[in-house]
Structure 1
């Protein structure tokens, strides 16, 4: 069998793991520097926790988990129940057809089947209704009645052999119908969700975090600042920078409506990317209230989602493409003409804010959004940023089902052609879906995998080293192995990474192999031989050799 991994997943080499850990550690250090506390949530959640929180497209991308991981048990359970159900219907029809006509049986077939519908309440309402509808399809109804008439007219059928013939009928016609209905059940998404899959792999970290806040609200001190670095899964089409299994690095604050949190998140983005030496990132910012205000003043308030989804594609499909999409969604040409200035929004952030004040003068909600943005932008200008650029982008419209205030998206430096490497925003009532009302939150996420690609393309991994021993004890003499292992234990106790080459060299070629190992791993110091309580200690860079005690080696390395 050819070894393979599922599409959208990856193996990571030691070098890649070291580089990823470098990014993780940089982000983690910055999170803690800003006062965020770590939490973790399970890899999978109850389906009800996740479904319906990401919109239709998001729900489609959620990986569902079969109950108990055993499809065959579920198949067997419902297969038997469906089979027994149909057997009861056949028995009823056989009894009736002895004293009734075929036309009356056909007329009353639906009533007869409905009498047994209650049996399938044990599956669920979806399953019961689906089975009922499947049995009442005209071709299936005819097949069942014809089979029973054929069965009933068999001249060999007598009271003493009725069960024998009925068992033959069960093995043929009834089992075929049962299997067909079972297959139809499994194709029904509602039945599949409720009966075969009660759990799902998490799609993101934000919804599980909202569930966590509600479930642990009595243990949390608000405002609660948390960070979370864990993998998530999406049944998406794999492409560059997009995978089915990937890590998210999230930081959120819940329990505070202060706009200083938005200011801090801009600083946090700037701090992380500066430490990673990714210069020239653009932190794009907008506000959900501004988008609502624009839709209101152009007379497209009822088309808010369609309007903003189209507007968000401006950099991908251009003015003409956005205009065509808006028209296709039923937005009038008059409304589109009013929004034309947004297509050419230029100037400084202050210029853009002034233009928005003019455009949104009649929208109360829109003006609230302008004031919120003005607070964040003006304070960032006073505080300054290290390497990032803050840019007001009125076409930014990510996650409208999610966000209620500020919206963030981070673009990679212009020389790297890649999508966003971070994003987030303000959500005023995400915990409300789990019963905890009026808890405002704001958060951002770092796209680890895309950050990795940016750093790789810009050649920023040169200083990231693989974990390796500071000292390698070569193994040329088996009689010295124990003494070397004892020395290694003492070095490790002093925090010095060290190890013994495991295989004893019994020839010159095997000794050369150990020296090649030293070169390939770029190990700084080696120990070759032992004389009494001293070790032949060599600096591989300077070629200097000294006979030293283990205490002297520790001092020399320190």
Structure 2
């Protein structure tokens, strides 16, 4: 017996219902992106390894899927490295390309490559799959979609204000109330590292701090110690583990804590600008919260950083995130190109909507009309009508086989098709159609024009 086929861990098949629900989320996000003035682009599913490697930190580099070179990929590999199983060093010799890890670095590459064709500031959105060699778990997959929006060519903090509004608008349209948009600033984190004497350990400090909600204060402390951050330094930063109060109150506390750091105070000033503007404008369904432990592990962030938490009670990781990256295009040779962007985690948003039963009012695409097939002559007569219906934008289909009537009616019932059209010799002779309303059970004979009116007005 042939072995049952399977798919790789961390990937999924999607049924018609699931695809329809995902498309609903896609279209909602896309519509809001366009309302806010963003333009769509697409980039290849794989990039040159040199484009991706070194842009996400040590942890990110390990999660990038490498693509083996075509043909005899071991031919140019160093035999000594192979014998010694030096996999990291051999990788560069046998793999020149990799699947994209996110959409932001490819976008930076796109901006640099097409800089002469772009009108700045350039506002782009991109909805495409990405791949990460992560450990699969709830809400975390190895293949998943990101929905990104970015602006490059502007240092204005009004862009951050707009992105918070964009998040709020999308979640309002999806009916997802109670999300929390967490916000911090990498300058604040750099200032804290400076104040406690751990400026040279900034990356280790931020990566550990970002895990507070996952491993707790003790876990963060142990990780910092393992990275060479002194206990005295950790003691100074301990108040951050239990920071509370309103966003304005937290900013006042940070103002005092960072009095000795110019960079840290600049971060506080930037956050205060954003918080004050959002307080004035208001949000519909989300709330904004300054979270001083939010770090986000990606090295390219330089200013404001965002992370969106699902409504309270829903056990799910972040469903969105982003931030400002003033130096990202510099890695490809284009200096002084400031950028800021956010991302929606489609797959996690889907799971949250499912858990909260927010797909209740959603209807998957289906035909409005199905014609019963009584034979070739009747099918031809029905197909002529179907052509007219489709020209009017009415989703219509012919049951393909002249099967038993019960089987064809069951098909219509199971798919929830509102109208069944019966065409026999009597209808053909009279040039009419018998329409059955599947909800009420009523049926009547009518002309094609009357059939159109029935379906359109239903």
TM-score (norm 2): 0.95
Cα 1:359–1:186, aligned 2, differ >3 Å: closer, same or farther?
closer
Q: CA deviation at 1:255?
A: 0.5
C-alpha offsets along residues 423-470 of structure 1, whole Å, 9 cap, x if unaligned?
000000111111111100000000111111111111111122221111
Q: 2:91 aligns with which of 192, 209, 216?
A: 192
Q: Is the 8 A contact 1:524 1:539 kept in 2?
A: yes
Indicate yes or no: 2:82 matched with 1:54.
Answer: no
Residues 192, 523 of structure 1: alpha-carbon distance in 2 compared, 3 angstrom cutoff: same
- CA separation of 1:327/1:23 partners in 2, compared to 1, >3 Å: closer, same or farther? same
Query: CA–CA distance in 2 between the matches of 1:189 and 1:338?
Result: 38
- For residue 437 of structure 1, the aligned residue among 335, 338, 341 is 335
> Are 1:292 and 2:190 counterparts?
yes
TM-aligned CA deviation for residue 266 of structure 1: 0.5
Output the CA distance in 2 between the equivalents of 1:230 and 1:470: 31
- Asked whether 1:474 is paired with 2:368, we answer no
Q: Do 1:186 and 1:192's aligned partners in 2 also have CA atoms closer than 8 Å?
A: no
Structure 2 residue aligned with 1:410:
308
Unaligned runs of 5+ in 2: none
Specify the alignment match of 2:16 in structure 1.
14
Q: 1:437 to 1:324 in 2, by over 3 A?
A: same
Q: Tell me if the contact between 2:180 and 2:309 (Cα under 8 Å) persists in the aligned partners.
A: yes
| Separation in 2, partners of 1:274, 1:516 | 38
Please give the alpha-carbon distance, in whole angstroms, between the structure 2 residues aligned to 1:514 and 1:369: 66
Q: Which residue of 1 aligns with 2:321?
A: 423
3-state SS of paired residue (2:337): coil
Q: CA deviation at 1:326?
A: 2.6
The total of aligned residue pairs comes to: 450
Which SS does the other structure have where 1:252 is aligned? strand
Q: Does 2:236 correspond to 1:338?
A: yes
| Aligned residue in 1 for 2:417 | 523
Q: Which runs of 5+ in 1 are unaligned?
A: 79-122, 135-180
Task: Give the superposed CA RMSD.
Answer: 1.6
Distance across 2 between alignment mates of 1:187 and 1:362 = 46
2:104 and 2:420 map into 1 onto residues whose CA distance is 49
* Aligned counterparts of 1:427 and 1:203: Cα–Cα separation in 2: 17
**Contact 2:373–2:398 at 8 Å: present in 1 too?**
yes
Structure 1 pair 74/380, CA: closer, same or farther in 2 (3 Å)? closer
Residue 51 of structure 1, CA deviation: 1.3
1:53 Cα deviation from its structure 2 partner: 1.2
Match of 1:30 in 2: 32
Counterpart selection for 1:327 from 225, 238, 241: 225
- Aligned partners of 2:300 and 2:327 also within 8 Å: no
Task: Spell out the pairing of 1:274-289 with structure 2 (5 A cutoff).
Answer: 274-289=172-187
Describe the shift of the 1:13–1:300 C-alpha distance in structure 2 as closer, same or farther (beyond 3 A). same
Tell me the TM-score normalised to structure 1 length: 0.78
CA change 1:394–1:30 in 2 (3 A) is: same
Structure 1 residue 187: Cα displacement: 5.1
Cα drift, residue 341 of structure 1: 2.1
Which residue does the alignment assign to 2:212? 314
Give the match's secondary structure for 2:117: coil
Whether 2:258 is the aligned partner of 1:364: answer no
Which of the pair is proportionally richer in helix?
A: 1
Task: Say which SS state the counterpart of residue 361 (structure 1) adopts.
Answer: coil
Q: Is contact 1:226–1:252 with CA below 8 Å preserved after alignment?
A: yes
DSSP 3-state at the match of 2:244? coil
How far does residue 185 in structure 1 lie from its aligned partner after superposition? 8.1
String of CA shifts for 1:73-113, please: whole Å, max 9, x gaps: 345xx3xxxxxxxxxxxxxxxxxxxxxxxxxxxxxxxxxxx
Whole-Å Cα distance in 2 between the matches of residues 389 and 444 of structure 1?
16
Aligned to 2:319, the other structure's residue is in SS state strand
Deviation for aligned residue 1:501: 0.5
Is the Cα–Cα contact under 8 Å of residues 259 and 376 in structure 1 kept in the other structure? yes
Q: For residues 157-172 of structure 1, what are the structure 2 equivalents within 5 Å? A: none
* Per-residue deviation, residues 148-170 of structure 1 (Å, max 9, x unmatched): xxxxxxxxxxxxxxxxxxxxxxx
Are residues 1:268 and 2:175 paired?
no
Conserved in 2, the CA contact under 8 Å of 1:305 and 1:400? no
Structure 1 CA distance for aligned equivalents of residues 85 and 258 of structure 2: 51
Please tell me whether the aligned partners of residues 185 and 191 of structure 1 are also in contact (alpha carbons under 8 angstroms): no
Separation in 1, partners of 2:240, 2:216? 12
